[in-house]
Amino acid sequence: MRRLRWLCVVLASCGSGAGGSGVGAARIAPEHLTVRALPGGSGVLELTGLSMGQAPQRAEVYAALKNVGATPACDAAFAIELFDRSEQSVAAGISGVLAPRFYRRTNGTQAIVGCVGPGAVGMAAIMDLPVDLRVEDVGFIVYHCPHFALEVEPVEGLSVHELQTVRRDAGTAFAGHLVNGFDVTVSRPAVSVFPVDPGGRPLGMAESRSDVDEVPTGESWQFETSAVEENASGFVAFPQGVLQAP
C-alpha cells in the first residue's frame, strides 16, 4: 500500500504576484523575511509564494512551488533551513510537496506517483518546527526541492467535488466529497486545503483525514476539515489516500 499525497484540485484562480525578497517575484510574508534558493538544489521547481506564521503551538511555514521546466517533477520535497538575523542556523524542516495530479510510471512497474507538471503549482506545509522558535527571530530562509525526473503519463485518480466553506467558531472550515476515480479501493482518505491570497500564496492549511474509512472505486467520502482563521481570496484542495492492492 502507498500513501498518495499529491493530487490537487484548484478551485480559485492564482494570478502572478509582484514583489518578494530574495527569490525573484515570489510573494513572501512576513515582509522582514528574506528567502533564498540553494544554488542548484531545486531543479525545475521555483518558489512563488511563502508564508511563515505563529500557530498556538509553534511556527509554521507554507510554500507554493511552480514547475518552470519542461518535464514533471515527481515525488518532490520542500526542505528549509532557517537563520536568525546574525546568520546563525536556528532550525530546519522538510515536507513532501502536494502536486497537481497523479501520474503512472511507464517503465513497466505501473506505479502511481504524484508529480508537479510543467507550468503547474504544488504546495508544502512544514508544521513541526521547534516549539521555542519565534517568527520574529528568523531573518532568512534557505530552501531546496529535491525531486525525481521520471518517465510518466498522467492518469485519473482522486478528486474533490462540491467544496464549500463552512463558518465555525474557530474560523473557516471546508466541506465536500472526495471521489475515487481509481479502479481499486482507497483507504485512509484525507483532504488538505490551502487558503491562498490573490497571488496564490498559501496562508495556512486545513485538514480532514480518516484512518478507518475506505472508498470503493467510483464512490465518494464526505469530509469537513479543521478550521483556519485566515481571510483568503481562494483555496486549493489536495485529496489523498492509500491504494489497496487489486
Check pLDDT > 90 for residue 245. no
Instruction: State yes or no: pLDDT of 4 exceeds 50.
Output: no
Q: What is the DSSP string of 146-164?
A: --B---EEEE--EEEEEEE
Residue range 24-53: average pLDDT?
90
Interval 115-131 mean pLDDT:
96
Per-residue confidence (pLDDT) for residue 23, from 0 to 100: 56
Average pLDDT over residues 79-91: 96
Classify burial at 244, counting beta carbons within 10 Å of its beta carbon; exposed 0-12, middle 13-18, buried 19 or more.
middle
**pLDDT at residue 179 greater than cutoff 80:** yes
Residue 25, classed as helix, strand or coil, is coil
Is the predicted pLDDT of residue 103 greater than 50, yes or no?
A: yes
Q: Which three cell numbers stand for residue 193?
A: 486545503
Among residues 128, 223, 125, the alpha carbon closest in space to that of 178 is found at 223
Condensed to tens digits (0 to 9), the pLDDT of residues 221-238 reads 999 999 998 778 899 999
SS3 string, 48-108, reads EEEEEEECCCCEEEEEEEEECCCCCEECCEEEEEEECCCCCEEEEEEEECECCEEEEECCC
Average pLDDT of the residues in 125-134: 96
Confidence category of residue 3, pLDDT binned at 50, 70, 90: very low
Region 132-154: mean pLDDT is 95
pLDDT of residue 25: 55
CA distances from 78 to 81, 142, 147 (A): 11, 11, 9
- The vertex-52 CA angle with 51 and 57, nearest 5°, equals 135
At residue 101 the predicted structure's pLDDT band, cuts being 50, 70 and 90, is confident
According to the model, what pLDDT value does residue 108 have? 84
Write down the pLDDT at residue 125: 97
Q: Which of 246, 245, 220 is nearest to 1 (CA)?
A: 245
The pTM assigned to this predicted structure is 0.87
Which pLDDT score is estimated for 109?
A: 85
Give the other-Cβ count within 10 Å of 78's Cβ.
Answer: 29
